[in-house]
Amino acid sequence: MSRGVDVQSMNATPLLHMLDGADAVSVLLDGVTAREAEVAGLVARGLTNKEIASQLHVSARTIQTHLERTFKKLGVRSRGELAARVYLAIVRKHNE
């Protein structure tokens, strides 16, 4: 990395308030829909598919579909990788 963000030493708690709202996350994650961004933000907060589905009033299968599409668009392979992408995007935006 050119700017060297040390994710290991980051305290993620102050970043959590920046995940509120799909618009904020969708700006950081190019190419995803607002709903996919909203789901990505909730994944980054540590919610399960079932918890996200309950919060958004949709089925867990719908959440799985959003995640499958988001993974493909962003080239990630796991929830952890997606969460890391969200947090790194927030850190980079915050440091601009």
**In 29-78, alpha helices (H):** 34-44, 49-56, 60-74
Alpha-carbon span 50 to 52, nearest angstrom: 5
* Total-model pTM: 0.74
Indicate the CATH number for domain 14-94. Answer: 3.40.50.2300
Which pLDDT tens digit goes with each residue over 44-92? 889 999 999 999 999 999 999 999 999 999 999 999 999 898 888 777 7
Can you say whether the dihedral through the CA atoms of 76, 41, 84, 25 is positive or negative?
positive
Domain boundaries, the chain: 14-94
| Furthest CA-CA distance within the chain | 41
